[in-house]
């Protein structure tokens, strides 16, 4: 699969170009330099072919950003990835070349791969004359576009298709770390498991993401809130393909004061909705504090299977007292929600990560089974014998399985209280063998059904 990188200085419209070529908003756009920190990659099906398109963090002179260690680290990490791409789209903007862009152009011309110059913010053909200085950079392909107004975007897309036409019908996995292609092509669009990594800022989510994928895609820093975009990657585990998404850390709403971060939180919630199993990463020092319990509730509301990962196990492996305290706190949360599995892990070393992934596949199997009507009717008869229902004169009429498959709709003769609903939920989970995953139970009355 041809891999295309969108590169350039900060705030020249790279993310806008990425989104318009992609056809939907993936990278965060904000009028502030350095918003994109990680490599954001998406598969783009154009015509008969499929490409990977990657939005890079904005490059800048190290002297100019010497006091911004986080941005500097992002740029250095990104530059190491350039050699893996088949085409570089070098984005500049109308208004004049900077000295840094001229130096960057010189370096790119020495690269043994195609580099196309894309001049952004050319909203009108008359503005092309003002941007004639960009021809001096000597790149064979130059495009005048407006990512905001979609001007000449179709022409750029068609030119990319023509560039890779000879190999466009072959769909491969993204390149591996050593630059080779993986040939199990059809699996690209059909992962066997979709994982989302959630947690508070700086809990170790990006470290876990990099450890699982074997790539340094996610930027790691002791600064909370380093990850802004949700980034995804594929990796293989025991012959199966897994798609994993690293999300921005979710912090208390009153602490989300930066517009960029509020967009990041929204993306994290979207990743939660799209995944099949959630890894909730928690720093052992913070354990199950109020904020982490809020995350539990968020996951429960979405009805997603959850595996709690108590991170940095390499730092407290021998502390029996601390491990016992953690176990007590986890047990309390299990009683409040459901008996979700959990592990002590080290995102840094990968300790116990294999166990967590194996368990993730088990949880997925619990929520993808279509349950036949006879089995549901038999379970309904068992539930109807409950003394809790008899004491309140509650009669169960019938039950159906919804979508997603861990959602069930139960019809009764009268509304039920929350304790009764919780009782029905627990009993249903037990009889269905779904003891480690959430069940979304909706209880409706016959009167509501008739309306």
| CA dist., res. 230 & res. 28, Å (int) | 10
Contacts of 290 (CB under 8 A, 6+ apart): none
On whether 249 is known to bind a ligand per the annotation, the reply is yes
DSSP element (H, E) containing 73:
helix 69-79
Residue linked to tokens 């968020």:
298
77 is in an annotated binding site: no
Query: Is 203 labeled as ligand-binding?
Result: yes
CB atoms within 10 A of CB 411: 18
Angle (CA) 202 207 213, round 5°:
145
Q: Is 9 annotated as a binding residue?
A: yes
Q: Is 225 annotated as a binding residue?
A: no
The two tokens of residue 96 are: 């004049």
Asked if residue 149 belongs to a known ligand binding site, the reply is no
Establish whether 202 is an annotated binding residue. Answer: yes
39 is in an annotated binding site: no
73 is in an annotated binding site: no
Q: What is the DSSP string of 169-226?
A: T---BPP-TTSPPB--GGGGG--SEEEEEEESTTSSHHHHHHHHHTS--S---SSTT-
Residue 352 known to bind ligand: no
Residues 395 and 385: their CA atoms lie apart, in Å, by 10
Does 397 carry a binding-site annotation?
no
Is 248 labelled as part of a ligand binding site? yes
Instruction: State how far the alpha carbon of 327 is from the alpha carbons of 177, 287, 288, 331, 344, in Å.
Output: 37, 10, 10, 6, 10
214 is an annotated ligand-binding site residue:
no
**Is residue 14 annotated as involved in ligand binding?**
yes
* The two three-digit tokens of residue 4, written as one number: 């295309």
80 is in an annotated binding site: no
Q: Is 403 annotated as a binding residue?
A: no
Q: Is 23 known as a binding-site position?
A: no
* Helix, strand, coil distribution of the chain in percent, nearest 5: 40, 20, 40
- Compute the half-sphere exposure of residue 109: CA atoms within 13 Å on the CB side of its CA: 12
Asked if residue 15 belongs to a known ligand binding site, the reply is: yes
Say whether 96 counts as a known binding-site residue: no
Pick out the residues of the known binding site for GTP.
8-15, 199-206, 246-250, 311-314
Pick out the residues of the known binding site.
8-15, 199-206, 246-250, 311-314
């Amino acid at each position: 699969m041809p891999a295309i990188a969108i590169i350039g200085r900060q705030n020249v419209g790279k993310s806008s170009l990425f989104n318009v070529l992609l056809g939907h908003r993936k990278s965060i756009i904000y009028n502030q330099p350095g918003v994109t920190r990680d490599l954001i990659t998406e598969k783009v099906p154009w015509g008969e072919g499929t490409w990977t398109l990657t939005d890079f963090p904005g490059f800048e002179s190290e002297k100019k950003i010497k006091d911004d260690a986080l941005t500097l680290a992002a740029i250095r990490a990104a530059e190491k990835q350039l050699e893996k791409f088949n085409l570089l789209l070098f984005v500049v903007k109308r208004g004049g070349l900077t000295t840094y862009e001229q130096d960057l152009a010189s370096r790119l011309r020495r690269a043994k791969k195609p580099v196309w110059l894309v001049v952004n913010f050319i909203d009108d053909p008359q503005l092309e004359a003002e941007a004639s200085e960009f021809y001096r950079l000597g790149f064979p392909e130059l495009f005048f576009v407006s990512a905001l107004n979609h001007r000449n975007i179709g022409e750029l897309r068609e030119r990319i298709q023509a560039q890779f036409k000879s190999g466009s019908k072959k769909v491969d996995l993204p390149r591996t770390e050593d630059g080779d292609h993986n040939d199990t092509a059809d699996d690209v669009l059909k992962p066997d498991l979709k994982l989302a990594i959630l947690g508070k800022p700086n809990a170790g989510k990006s470290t876990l993401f990099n450890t699982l994928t074997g790539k340094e895609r996610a930027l790691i820093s002791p600064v909370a809130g380093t990850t802004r975009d949700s980034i995804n990657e594929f990796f293989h585990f025991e012959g199966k393909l897994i798609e994993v998404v690293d999300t921005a850390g979710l912090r208390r709403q009153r602490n989300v004061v930066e517009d960029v971060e509020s967009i990041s939180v929204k993306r994290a919630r979207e990743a939660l909705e799209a995944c099949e199993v959630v890894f909730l990463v928690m720093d052992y020092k913070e354990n199950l504090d109020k904020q982490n319990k809020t995350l539990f509730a968020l996951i429960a509301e979405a009805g997603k299977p959850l595996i709690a990962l108590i991170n940095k196990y390499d730092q407290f492996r021998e502390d029996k007292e601390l491990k016992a305290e953690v176990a007590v706190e986890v047990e309390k949360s299990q009683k409040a929600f459901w008996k979700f599995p959990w592990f002590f892990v080290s995102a840094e070393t990968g300790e116990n990560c294999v166990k967590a992934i194996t368990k993730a596949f088990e949880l997925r199997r619990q929520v993808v089974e279509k349950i036949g009507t006879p089995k549901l009717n038999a379970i309904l008869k068992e539930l109807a014998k409950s003394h809790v229902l008899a004491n309140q004169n509650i009669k169960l009429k019938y039950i159906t399985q919804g979508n997603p498959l861990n959602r069930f709709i139960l019809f009764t003769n009268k509304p039920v209280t929350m304790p009764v609903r919780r009782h029905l939920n627990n009993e249903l989970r037990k009889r269905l063998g779904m003891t480690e995953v959430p069940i979304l139970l909706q209880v409706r009355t016959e009167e509501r059904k008739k309306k």
